[in-house]
């Protein structure tokens, strides 16, 4: 790639987006003739290509164009945060950022942002959707890498807040990268209730609790819950808190179709309580909104389920909610895995196992040693300069207008 200060030459392409074709400008040192469009979402278009010149020639990369990066302050702040975090993380389970570029000539006309990262492989969701059946050794390896990445992230006092199969990439050697850090933020900053995709959302967020007020600084526990749901899903071949298909003619699915968010949330909370037990009254009193608290308090009282029996016969468990549920594709986890899940899927976030302690569990006995575990503990207590900088930046961005954020990001890109 050329020196940052040299003049870049771009090729303009037209790619299909959700609403209409979108201009996509690519520096000529990328193979712009053989772009592969791999994702189109609300906030961006992602293509895969290779670097065709320079010392990194032949390297596979993905280029993401951010759609409407400055349409509102929240969107712009998320973008700044993601770029800063990607540039700062130095860990094998997070993607390396190659560059951030804009073809625009100056801050006044600045309206296009492109992020280039190393190609990390397909998502776990895509691999599973193609029919791949993960065996237990693969699941243990993936889980180990997930916890290693989270231990590193949490040691920087950063929480991811949107862990799911779609946001975990896996290559042909089963090496994973944790993607999509747009919602990640410093633990000291206020958390919002809309983060984390619903199926992977922990009870404290579903119940709109304030973790900092009630539990101290246990915000990282939300990521741990999400990983527990991911591990369970890899074994079960379905989400643990599976919501059924659109044509599933059951009372549960009819509730799911109701547009009222609080009703759908109640169904999810009930499923969690059914599996993990109904918490005591003191927990229920922490629910923020009176209407939600009233509905949650009226739910049946459940005892904690035997995880071993659930994973040995998941069909029997799921048919409690879906009479027509049929699934013959699943892997029965070892007792060590079930014991770890039992420590992850805990209602109270302050009682949930941490990433560093999960890595020391017997599930990963053949993948780590006491010395490496001690090293991770040391890493956890090491400098969290990145988290501090993000917190300071977050406070500064709140005071800026869209124009101010645009100027800030322009300077970030041109560093």
CA–CA separation, 25 and 48 (whole Å): 14
Q: Which is the catalytic residue, given 31, 71, 111, 162?
A: 162
Please, which residues bridge with residue 107 across strands?
none
31 is catalytic: no
DSSP 295-335: HHHTSPP-PPP-HHHHHH-HHHHHTTT-TT-------PPPH
What backbone torsions phi and psi does residue 84 show, to the nearest 5 degrees? Answer: -65, -40
Q: Which residues contact 104 (CB under 8 A, 6 or more apart)?
A: 110, 111, 112
Specify the DSSP element, H or E, that contains 233. Answer: helix 221-236
- What's the DSSP call for residue 58? T
Q: Which residues contact 71 (CB under 8 A, 6 or more apart)?
A: none
Closest CA to 306 of 316, 298, 297: 316
CA–CA separation, 250 and 104 (whole Å): 53
- What's the DSSP call for residue 191? P
Dihedral of CA 63/145/123/182: which sign? negative
Specify the DSSP element, H or E, that contains 45. Answer: strand 44-50
Taking the chain, what is the end-to-end CA distance rounded to the nearest angstrom?
A: 16
| CB distance 253 to 262 below 8 Å | no
Task: Compute how many other C-beta atoms are within 10 angstroms of the C-beta atom of residue 176.
Answer: 25
Q: Which residues are catalytic?
A: 162
């Amino acid at each position: 790639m050329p020196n940052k200060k040299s003049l870049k030459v771009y090729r303009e392409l037209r790619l299909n987006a959700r609403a209409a074709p979108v201009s996509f400008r690519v520096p000529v040192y990328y193979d712009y003739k053989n772009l592969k469009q791999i994702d189109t979402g609300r906030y961006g278009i992602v293509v895969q290509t290779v670097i065709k010149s320079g010392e990194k020639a032949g390297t596979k990369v993905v280029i993401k164009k951010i759609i409407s990066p400055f349409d509102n302050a929240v969107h712009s702040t998320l973008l700044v945060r993601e770029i800063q975090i990607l540039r700062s993380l130095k860990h094998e389970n997070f993607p390396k950022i190659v560059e951030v570029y804009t073809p625009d000539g100056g801050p006044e006309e600045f309206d296009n942002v492109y992020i280039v990262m190393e190609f990390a492989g397909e998502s776990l969701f895509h691999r599973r959707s193609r029919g791949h059946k993960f065996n237990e050794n693969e699941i243990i390896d993936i889980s180990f890498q997930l916890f290693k990445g989270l231990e590193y992230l949490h040691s920087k006092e950063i929480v991811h807040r949107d862990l799911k199969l779609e946001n975990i990439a896996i290559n042909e050697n089963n090496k994973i990268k944790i993607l999509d850090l747009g919602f990640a933020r410093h633990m000291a900053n206020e958390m919002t209730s809309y983060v984390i995709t619903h199926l992977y959302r922990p009870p404290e967020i579903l119940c709109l609790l304030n973790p900092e007020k009630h539990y101290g600084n246990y915000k990282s526990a939300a990521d741990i819950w999400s990983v527990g749901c991911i591990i369970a899903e890899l074994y079960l071949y379905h989400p643990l808190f599976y919501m059924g298909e659109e044509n599933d003619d059951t009372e549960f699915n009819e509730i799911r179709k109701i547009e009222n968010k609080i009703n759908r949330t109640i169904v999810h909370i009930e499923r969690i309580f059914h599996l993990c037990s109904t918490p005591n009254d003191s927990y229920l009193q922490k629910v923020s909104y009176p209407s939600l608290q009233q509905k949650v308090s009226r739910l049946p009282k459940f005892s904690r389920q035997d995880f071993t029996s659930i994973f040995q016969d998941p069909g029997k468990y799921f048919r409690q909610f879906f009479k027509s549920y049929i699934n013959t594709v699943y892997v029965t986890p070892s007792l060590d895995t079930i014991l770890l899940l039992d420590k992850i899927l805990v209602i109270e976030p302050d009682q949930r196992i941490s990433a560093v302690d999960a890595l020391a569990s017997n599930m990963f006995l053949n993948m780590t040693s006491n010395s490496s575990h001690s090293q991770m503990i040391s890493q956890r207590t090491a400098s969290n300069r990145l988290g501090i900088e993000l917190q300071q930046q977050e406070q500064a961005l709140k005071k800026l207008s869209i124009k101010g954020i645009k100027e800030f990001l322009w300077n970030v890109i041109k560093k």
